[in-house]
Amino acid sequence: MQIKQAVVVITGGASGLGLATARQALLEGARVALFDRNAEVLAVAHELGASARAAVVDVTDEASVTQALDQVVQAWGSVHALVNCAGIGAASRTVGKQGPMPLAQFAQVIQVNLVGSFNMARLVAARMAMNEPNAEGERGCIVHTASVAAFEGQIGQVAYSASKGGIVGMTLPMARDLAGLGIRVNTVAPGIFDTPLMQASPDEVKQPLIAMTQFPKRLGHPEEYARLVLHILQNTFMNGETVRIDGAIRMAPR
């Protein structure tokens, strides 16, 4: 798809990887709509300029997503791309010092990361289906964000890894479901990136993860993730795939 003038909805757009994706998409001439449950997203979009708009949205809530999508379509006519970056973590073992992990904690992570990504995808794809196809028959493109924890989750990552593994698992069937509509679906699985989340972590969390990264020995720059997402949006033959971007990290149990 052509990025220039495309309307790109980015969840989790107030911060980190989502915000970096918004900046890169704007550089390449897109219009971006940032959906985030954090009201700071409004100020962030204002700072990004006239080709950015924002809505306070909970990705797990159908009414909230539908209302925000209606506003985007009203303002800009349609939605061409969705980048799902909204996500949360939780550090808790299956059985810890306090006993079994609270089921509500496990369910909450699945709800935001997996159910939220699906909720966004189904509601956006229904809008994309109304787009006029381009010369190749393409109507839209969806990029989900998993994590390398989908494949080698560490001790304490059971809920997070299950949620991200679910995203990897739904990528191909969703691409198959939407192929007839000319909508592509791919997933990016990042390694360890330098976002506010990691910046807030103490050195004893960061350093072992950097040590497990093969080359380069550093955290990923959010722009490196963003450039991959923009590539996926523009490369029509990429479909149904999960791509790691991780400096060859393979995380150890701890």
Ligand X SMILES: NC(=O)c1ccc[n+]([C@@H]2O[C@H](COP(=O)([O-])OP(=O)(O)OC[C@H]3O[C@@H](n4cnc5c(N)ncnc54)[C@H](O)[C@@H]3O)[C@@H](O)[C@H]2O)c1
Give the distance between the most distant pair of CA atoms in the chain.
Answer: 59
Choose, from 160, 222, 239, 249, the residue flagged as catalytic: 160
Q: Which of 190, 228, 232, 242 binds ligand X (CB under 6 A)?
A: 190
Does 58 interact with ligand X (rule: CB under 6 A)?
A: yes
- Sequence-distant (≥ 6) Cβ neighbours of residue 206 within 8 angstroms: 192, 198, 219
Between strands 7-11 and 52-56, the pairing is unpaired
Nearest to 168 by CA among 191, 138, 143, 192: 143
Q: Which of 88, 129, 179, 245 binds ligand X (CB under 6 A)?
A: 88
Does 15 interact with ligand X (rule: CB under 6 A)?
A: yes
Please tell me the distance from the alpha carbon of residue 172 to that of residue 242, in angstroms, as a whole number. Answer: 9
Residue type for position 89: G
Does 116 interact with ligand X (rule: CB under 6 A)?
A: yes
Active site residue 160: yes
Does 192 interact with ligand X (rule: CB under 6 A)?
A: yes
Does 193 interact with ligand X (rule: CB under 6 A)?
A: yes
Shortest distance in whole angstroms from residue 129 CB to ligand X: 23
For the CA atoms of 143, 85, 191, 168, the dihedral, rounded to the nearest 10 degrees, stands at: -50
Does 138 interact with ligand X (rule: CB under 6 A)?
A: no
Does 246 interact with ligand X (rule: CB under 6 A)?
A: no
Only one of the segments 32-40, 98-106, 121-129, 134-142 lies at the binding site for ligand X (rule: CB under 6 A); that segment is 32-40
Please tell me the distance from the alpha carbon of residue 121 to that of residue 185, in angstroms, as a whole number. Answer: 9
Does 232 interact with ligand X (rule: CB under 6 A)?
A: no
Between strands 99-100 and 95-96, the pairing is antiparallel
- Residues near ligand X, by CB under 6 A: 11-12, 14-18, 36-38, 57-60, 85-88, 112, 116, 145, 147, 190, 192-193, 195-198
Please list the active-site residues: 160
